[in-house]
Amino acid sequence: MIRFIFAASLLMAGPAFAAGDYPFFSLRNTDLVVLLGFLVFVGILVYFKVPAKVSELLDARAVAIRAELDEARRLREEALALNADFERKQAEVQSEANRIVEKAKADAQIAADQAKADIEASIARRLRTAEDQIRSAEVSAIRDVRNAAVSVAVAAAGDVLARQMDAERSDALIKSAMTIAQERLH
């Protein structure tokens, strides 16, 4: 049936039939043929319920678009919430990192001050030790020089006394040494 209507509308709307100057209700009038073809076309669309189907398709598409918009709004709100949460966490992490850096700087300064104090104490101990060793070496050197001087003086005195000593003088010196020793012991 549709094929017949379609074929008839093609024949009626053909340019060969519509050519010329004919009355309005003649099939040779192009305006009438176009009008009839249009009405047949609209009738076919209405018969097959195309407007209702197009309306259903448009409604379904509108519902789908509305659902997509709702989903997009929901996703946007989630994204904004996640972004706010991320920015809050980022601020917390940044402040924590700043605290850690400040604490590390303070600890490093304390450690540097302690190391400096330890080095200064170590240097002071080494200086005292070196000064003590120098004093000890000086005392030892002075003692060695005195001992050597005493030894040389005793040896020289012994040589001088041995050259000048005779028996009388020796006896007198021994007696005088004994008296001095007795006086000092009592």
Residue 86 falls within a domain, yes or no? no
Q: What is the DSSP letter of 22?
A: -
Q: How far apart are CA 58 and CA 5, in angstroms?
A: 28
Q: What percent of the chain has pLDDT over 70?
A: 81
- Show Cβ contacts of residue 20 under 8 Å, excluding neighbours closer than 6 positions: 28
Residue 95 falls within a domain, yes or no? no
Residue 36 falls within a domain, yes or no? yes
Please give the distance of CA 94 from its chain centroid, rounded to a whole number.
Answer: 9
- Show Cβ contacts of residue 34 under 8 Å, excluding neighbours closer than 6 positions: 13
Task: Please name the amino acid found at residue 178.
Answer: M
Query: What integer pLDDT is reported at residue 18 of this predicted model?
Result: 47
Domain that holds residue 10: 1-48
Q: How far apart are CA 47 and CA 44, in angstroms?
A: 5
Residue 6 falls within a domain, yes or no? yes
List helix spans (H) across the chain.
2-12, 30-47, 50-164, 167-185
Residue 32 falls within a domain, yes or no? yes
pTM: 0.39
Residue 12 falls within a domain, yes or no? yes
The Cβ of residue 33 has, within 10 Å, a number of other Cβ atoms equal to 20
Residue 142 falls within a domain, yes or no? no
The predicted-structure confidence for 103-138, as pLDDT tens digits, reads as follows 999 999 999 999 999 999 999 999 999 999 999 888
The predicted-structure confidence for 9-56, as pLDDT tens digits, reads as follows 555 555 445 445 656 677 777 888 899 999 999 999 889 998 899 999
